[in-house]
Amino acid sequence: MVGARVGGLLCAVFVLVTGPVMTGVALAQPPVTPTPNPSPNGHATPAHPGHGQPKPGQPLAGQPAAGQPKPGQPAPKCTVPVAPPPPVDASERPHPGEPPPTPLPVPARPVGGARMGECGFVMPAGVPLLPPGIGAASWVLADLDSGAVLAARNPHARERPASTLKVLTALVVMRKLDLSTVVEGTAQDANIDGSRVGVGPGGRYTVRQLLTGLIMNSGNDAANALARELGGVPTTLRLMSETAGDLGALDTRPATPSGLDGPGMSTSAYDLALIYRLAMRERVFQEISRTRLTDWPGRGDLPGFKISNDNPLLIGYKGTIGGKTGFTDDARHTLIVAAERGGRRLAVVMMRAENRPVLVAQQAARLLDYGFALPRGVKPVGTLVESRPAEPEAAAAYEAPASAPPPAPVESHEDRIKSLGVIGGGALLGALLSYLIARRRPDEPGDPDLPDPSPTPHAEN
């Protein structure tokens, strides 16, 4: 029966990847060799004006990064959103009698440097064209070692993090808890919304095992168990908020330890980049982030099983050293990924992204290729801070966002099927084999980068 299932799946993969897309290398792309920017000093306005269509012969086909003006066109006017777009479901509705949270105060000076306060594309002068197909509403490309921000789009735009917020949860756990402490699972853990790694009553897990389930498999049940060990959800959220503030992540207000949407949830690509950079200094976080497959303990009469890493670039992008995926209906796709090449470690954070014109993972891979191709001496557009900057005072919180951007269009099933065709055969085969090996609970969602098929509108994978 299992053999028939595997054989049928592999046949389906073969049909999808026959022809020129069957490269045998997951998400493989040739190095980006883009044309020089025709307007080297085209950054007097916030949005980057020097980007247009790729010339014939460029290795990446498709459209330029979404929203970039063509050469000679003026940069569009824009504002930095002080709050995420309006929710599409009821997940952020306050409890009866509670007012909706107002947006966080806006710092008087942009954290990370003056250019981090710009909207639109924030690029160094004279750099090559961005690769095509980058459609995320907000993103940051940064050097993990120096903290230099190499390029960005709307770096301080407030967005929802989805499961990428688990990096902040993990950072708090690593600083506050003994990794050898044993935590008992509960029915509440087992019944939590969204993705679950397999925590439940009768199970006994070390803090390190729960961290593994949190980062590798995006377990909301692991987040709930860790929050309980920290003193409960309210205490955990307070610790997360205090940690974010101490680090200088002033766009970040957690509403849940797992990243599930809730009233007032907010962060930015810039904040997630600096949080991830500091988390990657922790040895245990590095080890978990790059692990592809590991054992998960059983509980009661349920035997143990294998779990796999949700990061698609661990299989599909050479040099990947870690990352974190996320999705909710309100946040859309979010992704953090880091890679090492030629002695450099770069990270990409993408927020409010869609799997078109290419998969979000491929968009991140293109940005990594772009970053590795930049000269080492290129002047950064900002810096990832490590502590709260000294501020004369913060601007008062807005009563409501001045002009919140509209929600990103929801992908259709047809869009998802079409997007699968651009992945190399190795990516699909590797992902399917990992999925089949990594058994999950029967009610567990299977694809971390696709919406939860359960009826719960805000559940996250």
**The pLDDT value given to residue 105:** 95
**What would the DSSP string read from start to end of 191-210?**
T-SS---S--TT-EEEHHHH
**The pLDDT value given to residue 390:** 86
Residue listed under structure tokens 């020097």:
50
Please tell me whether residue 104 adopts helix, strand or coil conformation.
coil
Nearest alpha carbon to residue 83 among 273, 272, 330, 260: 330
Instruction: Tell me how crowded residue 404 is: count the other CB atoms within 10 A of its CB.
Output: 15
Give Cα separations from 392 to 105, 389, 396 (angstroms). Answer: 13, 10, 13
Tokens of 370: 């772009």
Residues 447/423, Cβ–Cβ less than 8 Å: no
pLDDT tens per residue, range 84-119 = 999 999 999 998 999 999 999 999 999 999 999 999
Each residue's pLDDT, cut to its tens digit, for the chain (461 residues) gives: 434 333 333 333 323 333 322 222 334 333 333 333 333 333 333 333 333 333 333 333 334 455 555 544 555 667 899 999 999 999 999 989 999 999 999 999 999 999 999 999 999 999 999 999 999 999 999 999 999 999 999 999 999 999 999 999 999 999 999 999 999 999 999 999 999 999 999 999 999 999 999 999 999 999 999 999 999 999 999 999 999 999 999 999 999 999 999 999 999 999 999 999 999 999 999 999 999 999 999 999 999 999 999 999 999 899 999 999 999 999 999 999 999 999 999 999 999 999 999 999 999 999 999 999 999 989 999 999 999 998 654 443 333 333 333 333 333 333 433 343 333 444 434 444 444 444 444 333 333 333 333 333 345 55
Whole-angstrom Cα distance, residue 216 to residue 293?
A: 9
Residue listed under structure tokens 């980062």:
215
Instruction: Tell me how crowded residue 292 is: count the other CB atoms within 10 A of its CB.
Output: 14
Whole-angstrom Cα distance, residue 51 to residue 335?
A: 24
**The pLDDT value given to residue 68:** 57
**The pLDDT value given to residue 384:** 98
Instruction: DSSP letter for 399, please.
Output: S
Residue listed under structure tokens 């299992």:
2
Q: How many CA atoms lie within 13 A of 249 on its CB side?
A: 26
Whole-angstrom Cα distance, residue 246 to residue 278?
A: 12
**The pLDDT value given to residue 448:** 38
By CB atoms closer than 10 A (0-12, 13-18, 19+), residue 70 is: exposed
Contacts of residue 121, Cβ cutoff 8 Å, sequence gap at least 6 = 47, 48, 51, 65, 67, 68, 130, 151, 152, 153
pLDDT tens per residue, range 23-57 = 223 343 333 333 333 333 333 333 333 333 333 33
**The pLDDT value given to residue 3:** 40
Strands 320-328 and 138-143: unpaired
Q: Taking the mean position of all CA atoms in its chain, how far away is CA 63? A: 23
Residues with a catalytic annotation lie at 163, 166, 218
Whole-angstrom Cα distance, residue 394 to residue 386?
A: 18
Please tell me whether residue 107 adopts helix, strand or coil conformation.
strand
By CB atoms closer than 10 A (0-12, 13-18, 19+), residue 303 is: exposed
Instruction: DSSP letter for 114, please.
Output: G
Whole-angstrom Cα distance, residue 358 to residue 371?
A: 19
Inter-helix orientation angle 233-247/166-176, to 10°: 100
Whole-angstrom Cα distance, residue 243 to residue 231?
A: 16
Give Cα separations from 256 to 21, 154, 209, 314, 332 (angstroms). Answer: 40, 24, 20, 27, 17
Domains and CATH numbers, the chain: 77-94+101-415 (3.40.710.10)
**The pLDDT value given to residue 327:** 98
Instruction: Tell me how crowded residue 455 is: count the other CB atoms within 10 A of its CB.
Output: 6
Residues facing 383 on adjacent strands: 148
Residues 89/329, Cβ–Cβ less than 8 Å: yes
Radius of gyration of the chain (CA): 21
Whole-angstrom Cα distance, residue 264 to residue 2?
A: 45
**The pLDDT value given to residue 79:** 84
Query: What is the enclosing helix (H) or strand (E) of 427?
Result: helix 425-437
**The pLDDT value given to residue 392:** 53
Please tell me whether residue 280 adopts helix, strand or coil conformation.
coil
Instruction: DSSP letter for 204, please.
Output: E
Instruction: DSSP letter for 336, please.
Output: E
Residues 127/374, Cβ–Cβ less than 8 Å: yes
**The pLDDT value given to residue 310:** 96
Residues 208/291, Cβ–Cβ less than 8 Å: no
